[in-house]
Amino acid sequence: MEPSKKRLGPSTLSVHGGEPRPKPANALATPIVQTATFTFANTQELKDHFDGKIDRVEYGRYGNPTQKIAEAKLAALEGAGDCLLFATALLAMLSRGTHVIATNDAYRRTRQFLNQTLQRYGIEVSTVPAGDYDALEDAIRPTTRVLLSESPTNPYNRVLDLERFAAIGRRHRVKTVVDATFATPYNVRPLEWGVDLVMHSATKYLGGHNDLLAGAVLGSRELVDAVRGLQGIMGAIVDPFAAYLLIRGLKTFALRIERQNSNAQALAEFLEAHPRVEAVHYPGLPRHWEHDVAKHQMRGFGGVVSFEIRGDLDAAARVVDACAIPHLAVSLGGVESLIEQPAIMSFYELTTEERLEIGIKDNLIRYSVGIEDADDLIADLAQALDRLG
């Protein structure tokens, strides 16, 4: 699409961003290029490719035309210099003897990757409380290479002060990385606040339909190229059909997020006023820890509402099981509402005491709000809570 002097809106970018004109065979939809091998017309074209004179794909291990259009669309939405559909960017930034600092409220698999996988390769990891910037800065060592945080965090929706986080990284010459899966580029674009790299689980809001698996890293072309080199070695490439599904899902991205933002806000306000609810963790509520920060840097507050009911593990399970609209399932961000108890879904093998040590309460419920009618979601949750007696 031809560049415009005026910054295009999120819906326009969702539909048109990153897509070439014309497309192969003059197709309107992005074609699925289902091949692993790409041919060259002659030796000179091969040389031109290696010399960087032409931009084309050499081999499926290094990418695919459908993948590249999905990446270009995500880069346009994020306002990034480049994007790579790749799930392990940290491995490209760290090596034996280096150090990474992460905030403690995070996705379970992220915790495991940091504390188990990276440490096996001689990479040291420190964890600091979410929202404690003094502890974050105090933890920096000469060997620190990366500061990592989610924003909002999973499952408590803590919101990172992106400007302050980025400033700490610049002051110590350490790269800053934010997993903005919960926020999406519709609600916040961390690169605009000085963060070096943004990561997304494209499986969630970006794809939007719970039918693909992909991860994305976005930032300057220089930083993303460094990660791209590792992908070429590891061969962890998203397949063309998954890339096509991602492009297709992104067409309605802005519309979906607008609806999920408004639905989640309505659900959070209902829960906050309910007598059987102890606490609601949603940045759109004035009582939230970082509500003012969220108002300052976010367009909307996201589609995940976490809340604590008055009761124990079994009481929370009764609420989950009594809900008729949301599915009991892992993941989030799709058009269908999903509900789960983190204590059972993600940390079932731990005791209550072990779960509490990492901040997971037995009475905590995470609700990923879909695009259904807000009144229906609220009425359904109300009848489920009423069963607590």
Which token pair is 123? 């990479």
The stretches of 28-107 forming alpha helices (DSSP H) are 43-50, 65-78, 89-93
Pairing of strands 338-340, 327-328: parallel
Pairing of strands 124-128, 99-103: parallel
- Spatial neighbors of 209 by CB under 8 A, at least 6 apart, are 245, 249, 334, 335
Q: How far apart are CA 121 and CA 124, in angstroms?
A: 9
Q: How far apart are CA 384 and CA 9, in angstroms?
A: 39
Mapped onto helix, strand or coil, the DSSP state of residue 35 is coil
Burial class for 164, CB neighbours closer than 10 Å (0-12, 13-18, 19+):
middle
Which token pair is 366? 């995470």
Contact between 204 and 330 (Cβ < 8 Å): no
Report the catalytic residues: 61, 107, 179, 204
Mapped onto helix, strand or coil, the DSSP state of residue 251 is coil
Q: How far apart are CA 351 and CA 105, in angstroms?
A: 18
- The gap between the terminal CA atoms of the chain, to the nearest Å, is 57
DSSP summary character for residue 126: E
Residue appearing with tokens 């188990």: 116
Q: How far apart are CA 364 and CA 352, in angstroms?
A: 12
Mapped onto helix, strand or coil, the DSSP state of residue 291 is helix
Longest dimension (CA), the chain: 77
